[in-house]
Amino acid sequence: LATARLAQHLALEFSAIVDSQQVLSFPSSSFLSSSASMVQWVPPPFPLFKLNVDGSWFAESQSGGVGAVIRNEFGDFLAACARPIFRVGSAKIMECMAILEGIYFCSQIGIRSVIVESDNESLIYLLR
């Protein structure tokens, strides 16, 4: 229950940022240039929904967590989920788990047509 509350809190915080039209800045990583990349969330076209997912992995414990947020064409928050995941061998596998959990969550609440977004560009490329 605490995890669900945290996911909802983070989703509402994300919603406030999106609603205020702030631009998000993400630190550089293996697929971004050496300077920060400016990213702005774009709502999905009707009748699709947007599923934003992320995973976090800690090498020391071989564990972490995944989370997902679903929004409609207006950018309205619809639902979110998050959960810990244990015994995972890499960050990439955790990101895969985040995508799987997010898609499963959509199916559980009756959402069938989604655009999936993740910060792991290589996985999204493979899924295309």
The domain locations on the chain are 2-127
Confidence at residue 40, expressed as pLDDT on a 0 to 100 scale: 85
Confidence at residue 36, expressed as pLDDT on a 0 to 100 scale: 58
Confidence at residue 28, expressed as pLDDT on a 0 to 100 scale: 38
Confidence at residue 23, expressed as pLDDT on a 0 to 100 scale: 38
Per-position pLDDT tens, the chain of length 128:
665 666 666 556 655 554 544 333 333 333 444 455 677 889 999 999 999 999 999 999 989 999 999 999 999 999 999 999 999 889 999 999 999 999 999 999 999 999 999 888 888 788 77
Confidence at residue 2, expressed as pLDDT on a 0 to 100 scale: 61
d(CA 68, CA 53): 4
Q: If we measure between CA atoms, which residue out of 93, 98, 96, 102 comes closest to residue 127? A: 96
Predicted TM-score (pTM) of the model is: 0.68
* CB within 8 Å of 121: residues ≥ 6 apart: 31
CATH class of 2-127: alpha beta
Confidence at residue 3, expressed as pLDDT on a 0 to 100 scale: 59
**Do 127 and 102 meet the contact criterion of CB atoms below 8 Å apart?**
no
d(CA 106, CA 126): 21
